[in-house]
Amino acid sequence: MPIRPPFDPVPPSEITPPDVYRERRRFMQGAAALAASPWLGGAGTALAGPKLSGVRAGAYRLDEASTSYKDVTSYNNFYEFGTGKSDPAERARSLRTRPWMVSVEGEVKRAQVWDIDALLKLAPLEERVYRMRCVEGWSMVIPWVGFPLAELIRRAEPTGNARYVEFVTLSDPARMPGQRSRILDWPYTEGLRMDEAMHPLTILAVGLYGEVLPNQNGAPVRLVVPWKYGFKSAKSIVKIRFVEKQPLTAWMAAAPDEYGFYSNVNPKVDHPRWSQARERRIGEFLKRDTLMYNGYGAQVAHLYRGMDLQKYF
């Protein structure tokens, strides 16, 4: 699907209201009989959050219907709160997002600790509508609110030794009950190559549907990299570290044969336990073909020119 050209900034009042978003979803004939299915996002009840001010329409928007607010906020992977899709919505209320500090450190000239409210003012907030694809085979279309990660990187002034960016998420087993399990080596860590981190599609998200990011979706700030599988988009970030060597990410440490560092959406490279060729969009019943780079090939394929995508998966 094409990406629309840049929009002129518009006031929040002219952006589609969240209530309209939440009611917009496609019902297929007979869907009522399947309402309890997790593929149709039947779990949990979504509550509206505080609205974000000063949000403008971003450059990247899709000619596709957005997944409903209810589904986006009640059907999640966030293992810090449990492995069930409804666990985050049911358990994340214990997460406290104020005060919240994000440390920027490592191979940079300007190391800094950002208070989350100062970080919100670092750059103009935009709404960007992105496809998001889970490695398990389901997908959504989400209107994120955030700003390009590149804005923070420029202010940090990385040194010539900074080749990768590592993201470290909150470790708090008292409020994140999933961290009491040994499924991963906590805290959750992820990483990007510097050119991936600087790409204009890569954002730090602080909201969705024009509202403050819900706890279960990675509050108060998370990474969003739409051409990669969803687990690359680290949630509840507390540290951004610039490093010379490729960081060992949480899922690489747990299952290196299944989860590579790059984790680009690639329908031609199967997960060892299932095919990646097709996906099920939440809110729909039938599967659709998965797009290379999640449909963002025109924007990002050049980053991997000459690489063996079977080896660097």
Tell whether 312 is covered by a domain.
no
Please confirm whether the linkage preceding 143 is cis (ω < 30° from 0).
Answer: no
Residues, the chain, total? 313
Tell whether 119 is covered by a domain.
yes
Tell whether 74 is covered by a domain.
yes
Tell whether 2 is covered by a domain.
no
Radius of gyration of the chain (CA): 18
Tell whether 5 is covered by a domain.
no
Tell whether 309 is covered by a domain.
no
Tell whether 127 is covered by a domain.
yes
CATH of the domain at 253: 3.90.420.10
- 152 neighbors 104 (Cβ within 8 angstroms): yes
Per the structure, the count of domains in the chain is 1
Tens-digit pLDDT string for the chain (313 aa)? 444 433 333 333 333 445 444 444 333 323 333 333 333 333 344 455 799 999 999 988 898 999 999 999 999 999 999 999 999 999 999 999 999 999 999 999 999 999 999 999 999 999 999 999 999 999 999 999 999 999 999 999 999 999 999 999 999 999 999 999 999 999 999 999 999 999 999 999 999 999 999 999 999 999 999 999 999 999 999 999 999 999 999 999 999 999 999 999 999 999 999 999 999 999 999 999 999 999 999 999 999 999 999 999 9
**Paired residues of 190 in beta bridges:** 167
Hey, what are 198's tokens? 């600087």
> What is the maximal distance between C-alpha atoms in the chain?
59
Q: What is the pTM of this model?
A: 0.86
Tell whether 113 is covered by a domain.
yes
Q: Order of strands across the sheet with 237-243?
A: 112-115, 101-106, 237-243, 164-169, 189-193
Give the range of the structural domain holding residue 280, as residue numbers without chain letter.
Answer: 12-304
Q: Where are the alpha helices (DSSP H) in the chain?
A: 18-23, 69-74, 87-91, 116-119, 149-156, 194-198, 250-254, 297-300
